[in-house]
C-alpha cells in the first residue's frame, strides 16, 4: 500500500463519518436490516448497462475503459439502495496480464489462447497490479463519485477457478482441469502459485486505488475432493491473504468457495477471511455455525429472484430470520440473471432495507 | 411383496449362508476391508459390455432386453471381486412407463417428448412395476446366476431428478426445472407425487423379482435451496420409503443426494434410509457424522480412478482410514468413466479387498 493510500484509509477509518453498513457488518456487527448488494449488480438486467455495453467494441476493452467501467459500476448505485458497489471487471483479466490471450465470443463465453510457460508467467506475476492499473483507475473514479455511506469492493478470481479456464481454454465442466491436477500435480501447483502471487499484487493495487474490501471468487470449487480442495482452494487463499497482510493491506476479505458443500466449514475455520459468501444450497445451520467467528453473505437463489412472487418474499424473510441474529450481508448465491425483472430487485431491497424502493 | 418373495427373503436371511458383505455393511456392520462396488460398473469401460451394446438397436431396447441386460449386469461380477451387482437399467424408464416418450441420441444423451397430463400419468403410476416388469426379469436372471455372497441392487431415479428431465425434455443445467418449481409449485408437487407413487410400485416389483437392496439416485440435488431441497428431495424420499414399508418391502435403501452439500446432514437425519451415498466432495467429518446412525457409501473421484497413479492409491488409503471405523461401502462419488483403465479398477479393488486382483 502506498503511504497516500494508507493515510486515506486511516483517515476514512478515524473520520467522524459513520462506517458504511457493509463494512460494519464485515467487521462483525449484527444489523436487524443487514446490508445488501447483489453479485453482478452492474449488469445486463439494467437497460442503462446494455446501452453503455453496446458502445464498447468487445468485453475486454469494456473492462479496460475506466470511464465506461466506472459508469456501469455506479449505475445500480444510482437506481437502488445497495450498500456496496463492486468494481466492474472480469476474473479473466489476470491470465491476460500473465500473457495468455483472452477474448469473449458472443453467446459462447470466454476463450483463452495457449497457456504461456510457467517461467514466463512467473516473471510477470509481480507486475500484475501495474499491468491491470486501468482497473485501479475505474476504482478511483467510482470511489470519488460514490456516497461515503457506500462501500467499494475490489475482487479477483481465485487461483483454482482462474486456472480451470487457463488449462481448458475456456468454460468447461472442469473435468479436464481436475484431471490435470491429478496427473500433473507439480505443474498445477506452480501455476497456482503464479496466480497467488499475481492476485496479491492485483488486489493490493485495487486497495491502493480505492477498494475498501476485497472478494475472492472461487466460482468452481464444486466437485473437488477434500484433499484437492485443501490444496487448490484453502491453502492458496491463505497464501493470498497472508501476502496481502504482509504488504500492509488491511482491507477485509470475503471468500466465496461456490459449490464447496460441506468443505465450506473447513474453509471458514482455516482461512483468515473476514467474510464467507455462501451459495444457493447453504443450510441455515452452516451459516449460523460460521457466524460464530465470521460474517456470512448470501444466499438467495438468482432463479427465485427472477421468478418473483410470494415464494420470493417468503424466502427473503426466511433468510433474514435464520441469519440476521449474527453478522450477515444479504446477497444472492450466484450472479443476478440478465432477464431478472427490476421490480423483483426492488421488492427484495424493500424487504431487506425496510424502506420503500422505486416507483 | 408377494408371499413367495417374502418367503424367499426370509429364507435368505435365516439360511446358514453368510450374509453378503454388502448387506452386512448396510445393516450397520463395520468391516476393516469394506465391501466395494462402483456406480456404472456395468458399462463402457468394459470391452465385453461394448460388444453386447453393439448388438442392441438402441439404449432403451437394450434396457428392456432381459437377456442382454442380465449379461452386462453380470460381466463385471465375473471379472472383478465386486461385492454387489446393480441391475442394468436407466432412471428414465419411469417417464416412459408414465407415457412420456424417451429416446437416446448418440452422443447427445436422453431426449424426452412432451410431458403427458398429470391426470393421465397419475392413472399409470400404480402400474409402473407391471409396465417395467422386463427390468424385474433381468433382476431374476441375475439373481439366479449370481454367487450367494454377492448382493443384488435394484434402483430408481429419485422424483426431482426424473422430473428435471421430464420438464426440460432432456439433460440440462436444471435451471428450467428449478424455475418451474418456483413458478408452478402445485403442478410440480403433483408431478413429484406421481413419481413417488410410480417409484414405490417400480421398486416393490424389483424386490419381488430379486433385488436385495434399493438405491434412489437423486443425481441433480445440487443448487437446490434448503426449503426446495426439503420439499423436492427429502420429503419425497421419505414418502417413497414409507410407501415401500407399507407394502411390506424390507430391503435396505441407499439414498444418493448428489451435490446436496451441507444439506446432506439434514437428509441423513430425516430420511429413513439405511445408507447415504456421498459424492466426491464429501468431507471426512460429514461421513463420520452420518456413520453414527447410518451406513455411508462413496466417494472416490471417478476422474482420479481414471487418472491412476500414486495419487489414486493415496486417496484410497485416506478414504479407508477416515471411514472404515464405521459402516462403510467403498464406491465412487459418481459413475465410472467410459475410458477408465481396467488396471486402475483392479488396483483399487486390490487395495480395498486386501487380495490380489487380475493378472
Nearest-CB residue to A261 (from B178, B225, B281): B281
Q: For residue B222, which residues of chain A lie inside 8 Å, CB to CB?
A: 222, 259, 281
pLDDT(B186) > 80: yes
Q: What is the DSSP string of A302-339?
A: HHHHHH-SHHHHHHHHHHHHHHTTSSEEEEESSPPPTT
Q: Which H helix or E strand runs over A140? A: helix A133-145
Determine the residue among B232, B267, B283 to mutate to test chain A binding: the one whose Cβ has the most chain A Cβ atoms within 10 Å. B283
ipTM of the complex: 0.92
Q: Which of A1-10, B3-12, B221-230 has the highest mean pLDDT?
A: B221-230
User: What does the pLDDT look like over A149-169, one tens digit per residue?
Assistant: 999 999 999 999 999 999 999
Range B221-236 average pLDDT: 96
Q: Active-site residue A79, yes or no? A: no
Of the given ranges (B115-119, B144-148, B219-223), which has the lowest mean pLDDT?
Answer: B219-223
CA distance linking residue B76 with residue B184, whole number of Å: 43
Give the per-residue pLDDT at A165. 97
Q: Does the distance separating the beta carbons of B226 and A307 come in below 8 Å? A: no
pLDDT of A7 strictly over 50 = no
- For A91-115, how does the pLDDT look when each residue is reduced to its tens digit (9 = 90+)? 999 999 999 999 998 778 899 999 9
Predicted confidence (pLDDT) at residue B15 exceeds the cutoff of 60? no
* Whether B280 and A225 lie within 8 Å, measured CB to CB: yes
B40 part of the active site: yes
B226–A281 CB contact, under 8 Å: yes
Instruction: Please check whether residue B70 is in contact with residue B141, taking contact to mean a CB–CB distance below 8 angstroms.
Output: yes
- Interval B300-323 mean pLDDT: 97
Give A89-106 as a 3 state SS string.
Answer: CCCCHHHHHCCCCEEEEC
Interface of B with A (CB under 8 A): 175, 178-179, 182-183, 185, 222-229, 259-266, 279-286, 299, 301, 303-304, 306-307, 309, 311-312, 315, 318, 333
Mean pLDDT value of segment B18-46: 97
| pLDDT tens track for A33-43 | 999 999 999 99
Active-site entry in B165, B180, B202, B328? B165
Partners of A279 on chain B (C-beta within 8 Å) are: 223, 261
A53 is catalytic: yes
Q: Which pLDDT value is given to residue A6? A: 47
How far apart (Å, rounded) are the C-alpha atoms in residues B31 and B215?
Answer: 21
Buried b / exposed e along B282-314 (16+ C-beta atoms within 10 A): bbbebbebbbeebbbbbbbbbbbbbbbeebbee
**pLDDT value at B228 more than 60:** yes
Which of A45, A49, A82, A165 is catalytic? The answer is A165
A133-144 pLDDT, tens digit each: 999 999 999 999
**Mutation choice for B interface testing from A109, A174, A182, A232 by most B CBs within 10 A:** A182
Q: Is the pLDDT of residue B6 over 60?
A: no
CATH class of B3-353: alpha beta
Chain A neighbors of B301, CB-CB under 8 A: 178, 223, 225, 228
Mean pLDDT across chain B? 95
Q: Which residue has the higher pLDDT, B172 or B311?
A: B311
Q: How far is B350 from chain A (nearest CA, A)?
A: 21
Task: Read off the pLDDT of residues B238-253 as tens digits, 9 standing for 90 and up.
Answer: 999 999 999 999 999 9
Q: Which of B11-25, B77-91, B277-291 has the lowest mean pLDDT?
A: B11-25
Told to judge if B53 belongs to the known catalytic residues of this protein, a careful annotator would answer yes
Per the model's pLDDT, the better-predicted residue between B2 and A247 turns out to be A247
pLDDT of residue A1: 46
In this predicted structure, the answer to whether residue A349 has a pLDDT above a threshold of 70 is yes
pLDDT band at A32 (very low <50, low <70, confident <90, very high): very high
| Banded model confidence at residue A359, pLDDT cuts 50, 70, 90 | low
B83 has catalytic annotation: no
B262:A259 CB<8 A: no
In chain B, residues with a C-beta closer than 8 Å to the C-beta of A188 are none
Give just the sign of the alpha carbon dihedral A282, A283, A286, A287. Answer: positive
pLDDT of residue B172: 81
Q: Is the pLDDT of residue B129 over 80?
A: yes
Residue B52 scores a pLDDT above 50: yes
Tell whether domain A3-7+30-353 is in CATH 3.20.20.210: yes
Tell me, what's the pLDDT at A234?
A: 98
Contacts of B263 in chain A (CB under 8 A): 281, 283
Report whether pLDDT(B1) > 60.
Answer: no
Amino acid at each position: 500500500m502506498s503511504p497516500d493510500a494508507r493515510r486515506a484509509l486511516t483517515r476514512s477509518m478515524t473520520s467522524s463519518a459513520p462506517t458504511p453498513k457493509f463494512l460494519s457488518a464485515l467487521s462483525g456487527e449484527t444489523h436487524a436490516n443487514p446490508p445488501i448488494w447483489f453479485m453482478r449488480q452492474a449488469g445486463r438486467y439494467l437497460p442503462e448497462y446494455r446501452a453503455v455495453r453496446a458502445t464498447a467494441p468487445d468485453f475486454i476493452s469494456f473492462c479496460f475503459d475506466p470511464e465506461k467501467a466506472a459508469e456501469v459500476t455506479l449505475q445500480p448505485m444510482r437506481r437502488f439502495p445497495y450498500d456496496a458497489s463492486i468494481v466492474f471487471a472480469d476474473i479473466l483479466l489476470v491470465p491476460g496480464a500473465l500473457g495468455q490471450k483472452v477474448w469473449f465470443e458472443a453467446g459462447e463465453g470466454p476463450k483463452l489462447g495457449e497457456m504461456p510457460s510457467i517461467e514466463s508467467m512467473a516473471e510477470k506475476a509481480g507486475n500484475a497490479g501495474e499491468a491491470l492499473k486501468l482497473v485501479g483507475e475505474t476504482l478511483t473514479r467510482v470511489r470519488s463519485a460514490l456516497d461515503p455511506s457506500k462501500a467499494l469492493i475490489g475482487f479477483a478470481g481465485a487461483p483454482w477457478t482462474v486456472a480451470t479456464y487457463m488449462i481448458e481454454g475456456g468454460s468447461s465442466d472442469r473435468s479436464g482441469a481436475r484431471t490435470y491436477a491429478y496427473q500433473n500435480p507439480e505443474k498445477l501447483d506452480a501455476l497456482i502459485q503464479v496466480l497467488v502471487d499475481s492476485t496479491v499484487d492485483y488486489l493490493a493495487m485495487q486497495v491502493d486505488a480505492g477498494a475498501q474490501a476485497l472478494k475472492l471468487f472461487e466460482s468452481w470449487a464444486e466437485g473437488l475432493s477434500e484433499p484437492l480442495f485443501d490444496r487448490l482452494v484453502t491453502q492458496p487463499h491463505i497464501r493470498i491473504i497472508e501476502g496481502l497482510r504482509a504488504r500492509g493491506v488491511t482491507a477485509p476479505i470475503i471468500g466465496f468457495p461456490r459449490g464447496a458443500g460441506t468443505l465450506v466449514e473447513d474453509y471458514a475455520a482455516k482461512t483468515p477471511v473476514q467474510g464467507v459468501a455462501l451459495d444457493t444450497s447453504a443450510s441455515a445451520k452452516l451459516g449460523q455455525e460460521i457466524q460464530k467467528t465470521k460474517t456470512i453473505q448470501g444466499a438467495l437463489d438468482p432463479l427465485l429472484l427472477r421468478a418473483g412472487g410470494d415464494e420470493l418474499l417468503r424466502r427473503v424473510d426466511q433468510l433474514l430470520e435464520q441469519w440476521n441474529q449474527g453478522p450477515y450481508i444479504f446477497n444472492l448465491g450466484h450472479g443476478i440473471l440478465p432477464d431478472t425483472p427490476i421490480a423483483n430487485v426492488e421488492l427484495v431491497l424493500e424487504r431487506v432495507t425496510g424502506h420503500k424502493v422505486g416507483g
